Structure 1
Amino acid sequence: MVDFDLGIFYWAGVFIAFFSSFLILGKQKKRTQDFLLAIWFLIIGIHLIFFIIFRADGFLKYPYLIGLELLLPFMHGPMLYLYIISVTGRELSKKIWLLSGSSVLVVYLLLFQFLTLSPQNRAMVYLNNGRGYELLSDIIKILMMFSGVFYVTLSCLEVRKYKKRISEQYSNTEKINLNWVYYLISGIAFIWIAVIIRNDILIFSMVVLFILVAAYFGISRVGILDFPVIAVEKEADNESIKYQKNSPGDEVIQTTYKKLVERMKGEKLYKDSELNLNHVAQLLEVHPNILSQTINSMENKNFYDYINRQRIEEFKKLAVLPENQKYTILSLAFESGFNSKTSFNRNFKKYMDCSPREFLKSQNLDMK
């Protein structure tokens, strides 16, 4: 009864993987990340089918499949990495494609001699628990664990670099949702932990749960059928900030900084909660790269930190005015340019080393 239930469970995972893939491919406006996710779901579905067949000793009916199942685990790490790169706005260069395909190619070359055996001979090796291929089996297991750790680590580093890039361009990042990529990376990480434990039932049960969660958050919650997984403004998709190798020169930086300070003081640009680097650069009539380098050089901050420091200072000025004592802390935070209570509290504590309420108390102010 347990085996029967697990069989249904695994086939349900296959159905969800294929169905999710077809849904994504059915989008009217497909992007690179959509194709990658659809292909990955197909690979997961095929991998589950292989497991179901081998679990029921199906290799005796289909001996020509033996050995091919060893290639599939090495596809998931690269697919995760390619998807994360695509969804965070980086170009998929030839170097990235080569890195992603290298693990599968290496394993294929290692297995080439075994795969050239007749199906009957492969079945005999399988029935004899890999006798004669013990070293190859150990190498494959080590490479499999290394592949999982390697690509999960690369994916985490890619998300970290992405967070750094958006802080160079946006003054508020709360609307940029990274939950989806965290779910994917965490899910794959847990599966690779099961791989290290070497429990096939646990591994593929977690794979089914992973595809359930991935389909739910990737389609129902995040709305991947309608728009990109990570919602960023159009200009962030079209242009990522690339620092110039050579400095634009002290005179240019000084001039740009002077114009920036004047516009900030005179027009209080930071009060715009959607303010971004490109917009400010257009107002100052300078290239975004030059503006970014100016802020880094003169303030030793990125764009995000620079603007939010301005907002904190504005809040402090507003909070001490007698006519503003009737307002709440949050309303003054919004007036200063913040778009959420979380962002305000986090930035205030970061720059002031105390909470907003503690600061107001030190000023003998009582505000809700």
Structure 2
Amino acid sequence: MYAYILSLTGQNSQKYKLILHFVPLVIIYLLLSDFFILPPEKKIFIYRNGGDKYISFKQNINALVMVSGVLYVSLSLLSLRKYKKEISGQYSNTEKINLNWVYYLIAGISVIWFCIIFTGDIITFISVVLFVLFAAYFGITKAGILNLTEIKNYNAIKKEETIVSPVSVKYQRSLLNEDTIQSIYTKLVYKMDTEKLFKDPDLNLDHVASLLDIHPNSLSQTINSIENKNFYDYINRQRIEEFKRLSVLPENQKFTILSLAFESGFNSKTSFNRNFKKYMNCSPREFLKNQNSDLK
């Protein structure tokens, strides 16, 4: 699962390091080589007698399984957290690429690990079967798992960015003094006010940077320095403000809340509600009620 997440999120640039994770498994198999060459009846005898002379070895393996389970679940969660932080700095809408569904897979793997350690073979087998059925059903019904085009596009962009020398990027960022940052921010605000770039649901950092003719790192640093936000939060705040403006106009009272949310640049009801509550500390309906709006 950990290797899958690294591959899915484009964090496996040094693939040879993944091989190191299989070293303990190879060592275990080597230590059990004498068991593997035993005749079948001897293997059955050892299994029925709880491991026979392999009891202490089995206990050590169980301890390693417990440690590795906690370790790899933790590493998987940390990798997802890192990925979500990265895409928040690149995209204004992350619904299609946030990989929230992976948390269900991690939870399923954790349950199986728990069953392996603390329960018998039957319960473990049942948990594995249920997990496979759940994963199959989830994979078929949830397009986000099978259609990974958006994530592949993100990884492709990420690979292109790694071509840029880290040293050059470092110096480029260091050259941004207060005046430069303020100049970039002024251009950004002007673009947002006049062209309402935030209305594009697929708006991303690279596109805005290209419109301003600056490096994406410079734009990201500018937003972070002045707004104290990442790109995702900055753009969605603009969308919330646009929704508030549209919702009080008399000519818009015939529209629904969701239609105005889409008009403001959001691409899903979930994203709109979550961001609105984050910035306004109330739901859209509660806000409109206080504004005496007739939107539904």
Quickly name the TM-score band, shorter chain normalised: 0.7 to 0.9
SS at match of 1:339: coil
Equivalent residue in structure 1 for 2:174, among 247, 251, 260: 247
TM-score of the superposition, structure 2-length normalised? 0.84
Tell me if structure 2 keeps the 8 A contact 1:295–1:301: yes
- Corresponding position of 1:83: 4
Matching residue's letter, 1:202: I
Alpha-carbon distance change, 157 to 358 in structure 1, aligned in 2, over 3 angstroms: same
Quote the Cα distance in structure 1 between the aligned partners of 2:141 and 2:42.
Answer: 43
**Does residue 130 in structure 1 map to residue 51 in structure 2?**
yes
- Corresponding position of 1:192: 113
> Which runs of at least 4 in structure 1 moved beyond 6 Å after TM superposition?
240-243
Matches within 5 A, 1:21-36: none
- Corresponding position of 2:38: 119
Matching residue's letter, 1:162: Y
CA shift, 1:203, in A, is 0.8
Tell me if structure 2 keeps the 8 A contact 1:338–1:344: yes
Alpha-carbon distance change, 277 to 351 in structure 1, aligned in 2, over 3 angstroms: same
TM-score of the superposition, structure 1-length normalised? 0.69
Tell me if structure 1 keeps the 8 A contact 2:84–2:98: no
Matches within 5 A, 1:176-325: 176=97, 178-218=99-139, 221-222=142-143, 227-228=147-148, 231-232=150-151, 234-239=153-158, 244-245=169-170, 247-250=174-177, 251-325=179-253
Query: 1:265-304 deviations in whole A, cap 9, x for unaligned?
Result: 1111111111111111111111112211211111110111
Tell me if structure 2 keeps the 8 A contact 1:177–1:231: no
Gaps of 5+ in 1: 1-79
Tell me if structure 2 keeps the 8 A contact 1:180–1:222: no
CA shift, 1:165, in A, is 1.5
Q: CA RMSD in A?
A: 2.7
Alpha-carbon distance change, 104 to 222 in structure 1, aligned in 2, over 3 angstroms: farther
Query: 1:131-165 deviations in whole A, cap 9, x for unaligned?
Result: 33332221111101211221122112212222111
CA shift, 1:125, in A, is 4.5
Query: 1:59-110 deviations in whole A, cap 9, x for unaligned?
Result: xxxxxxxxxxxxxxxxxxxxx111111112222414641442243145345x
Number of corresponding residues: 284
Quote the Cα distance in structure 2 between the aligned partners of 1:181 and 1:95.
Answer: 24
